[in-house]
Amino acid sequence: MRKMDYEQLYNACYMQVYSYVMTLTKNRDLAEEITQHTFYKALASKSEFRKGSGELTWLCAIAKNAFFDEMRRQKRFAPDAPADRDLLSECDPEAKAADTDAAYRVHLILHRLEEPYKEVFSLRVFGELPFSRIASLFGKTESWARVTYHRARLKIKERMDHDHETSL
C-alpha cells in the first residue's frame, strides 16, 4: 500500500471506523485511541489485507480485535470488570452493532432506510448528537427528532427480525 493509497483509505474510512468503535466503547477518548491504533495496525500489516474482503470490513475487524485487546487489558487491572462479551450482550439495534455480523446487517438496513430516518438514526447513534441538535439541523422540534429516531429504531429492529426469520 503506497503512502497515497493509505492516506486515501484513512480519509475515506476514518469516520466509519470511528463510528463503529464508538458503538463498542461508548467513550470518545477510547474510541479515538482505538481508531488511531486500527489505522496504525493496518499500515503495519498491509501485506495481510485480503483483496476478497472490503477495506472497511478489514479495518473494522482490526478495530474489533483492538477493542477486545483493550477490554482484556483493562480487566487485568480491574478484575471485577464485566467480561468482554457481557459488554456486547444488549439486544437493541445500537448494541447489536458491536458484533461485526450484526453491525454489517445494521449498516445494510440503514443504507436502505428511507430519509429522514437514516440520517436521524446515524446522527444520534454514530454522531452522538443530542435530539436538540438533530432537530435544529432539520429545522424541526426536538419531539420530531425523538419520534423520528425511535421510528427508525423500530424499522431497523423489524427489518433485522424479518431478515433473521427468513434466514432460519
- Nearest CA to 126 out of 28, 22, 17, 14 is that of 22
Q: Which residue has the higher pLDDT, 45 or 152?
A: 152
Q: What is the pLDDT of residues 63-117, one digit of tens each?
A: 888 898 888 887 766 555 444 444 444 444 555 444 566 677 777 888 888 998 9
**Cell numbers linked to 146:** 425523538
Same domain, 10 and 82: yes
Q: Which domain holds residue 124?
A: 93-167
Beta strands in 2-126 (DSSP E): none
Last residue of a domain, one of 87, 108, 139: 87
CA–chain centroid gap for 8, Å, is: 20
Last residue of a domain, one of 44, 65, 87: 87
CA–chain centroid gap for 30, Å, is: 14
Last residue of a domain, one of 35, 70, 87: 87
Q: What is the pLDDT of residues 18-37, one digit of tens each?
A: 888 988 888 888 999 999 98
Average pLDDT, the chain: 77
Assign residue 100 the CATH number of its domain: 1.10.10.10
Q: What percent of the chain has pLDDT over 70?
A: 73
Question: Which range (56-60, 76-80, 115-119, 145-149) has the least confidence?
Answer: 76-80
Same domain, 152 and 102: yes
What is the DSSP code (8-state) at residue 139? T
pLDDT at 144 over 90: yes
pLDDT at 163 over 80: no
Q: What percent of the chain has pLDDT over 90?
A: 8
pLDDT score, position 99: 56
Count of structural domains within the chain: 2
Q: What is the CA radius of gyration of the chain?
A: 17
pLDDT at 139 over 80: yes
Report CA-CA distances (Å) from 73 to 17, 21, 26, 66, 154: 21, 17, 17, 10, 36
Same domain, 76 and 33: yes
